[in-house]
A = this chain, B = another copy of it.
């Protein structure tokens, strides 16, 4: 059994999130070993044996990979270039510190997925600057307008819009991303061969083939049906795959608030858009702001300011708002890391710079392009240099 088949087998017989499987991976076991151990009921597999008791004989790995291929999808795992390792490390590393009180009953689910089924563009580069936009399914006219406004303001700075593909705010956010020409990622709660909800099937197809970049992602193998517990674990991926989560319109008890709690629990920025107090549709947003659990944001500028202050992705796993006193000279932590890695004079090639700054090349390039636009650095072929002021 090769590695890909092993991941496919594990994806089916171990429903994520699985703490025992993550523990084996962290201990250095590879997918083939673990798959073999699970299938042969080896004692060293430990608690994962019990978790796979019912499903371990259900080996459909080859068929699942064929189904995925037919859908234009693929299975990815740690070690693959497009695996969002930094995102998962920072999010679940933060959760593991136990700093946040906001996971409570879901704390046991706060581990990375072991594999992801992806349809569309390479995942990791899409996420270098990404924000989750979620909210009620029972969208009002105001909620639609507010979602479109927020997305279009983020699109102008090429932020990727991550959401859950549901009707309501999710679908409006995905569509607005397509219309305004920025990338978008759907995190599904079922197999990629299922379109849920049905009315968004065409939207998902458009996103997967979006020229500006788009992807549909799922933790579940083909054929998996959407179920309540899967929406909740899916929400953790929406929060983990973005630098911050924004709730637009959520009534008192809205599933979108669960995603917002995940953002808190994973050390992401938690944000909410206010709305009319004369409607009940923004009650959940207002409550989170009032309780100090979400930052009030009125649009793309507020959101970018918060995310840039935090630093897009922080490999240290630290979570700290670094508001600079002088807004003119403000560089986010990641921007500063790149700027400081450049020599005071002379140029440095992109790869060397990314290594020196301790970042992935895609993230580094994204930030460099922005710094270049703002006149802080200058491109010289495949290298970069500081701009003298």
Contacts and interface: CB of A to CB of B under 8 A. Distances in A.
Interface string A302-326: 1000000000000000000000000
Interface residues of A, number: 22
Give the oligomeric copy count: 2
Interface string A272-298: 011111100011001001100001111
A142 interface: yes
Given A286-B296, A295-B290, A298-B286, A142 B276 contact: yes
Contacts of A295: 290
A273 B289 CA distance: 12
Contacts of A302: 290
A277 B286 contact: no
A299 B273 contact: no
Contacts of A149: 277-278
Contacts of A35: none
A290 B296 contact: yes
A124 to B, nearest CB: 32
17 contacts: A145-B278, A146-B276, A146-B277, A149-B277, A149-B278, A150-B277, A273-B277, A274-B274, A274-B277, A274-B286, A275-B275, A276-B276, A277-B298, A286-B298, A289-B296, A290-B295, A290-B298
Given A274-B286, A275-B276, A289-B289, 9 more contacts: A142-B276, A149-B278, A150-B277, A274-B296, A275-B277, A286-B296, A289-B296, A290-B297, A290-B298
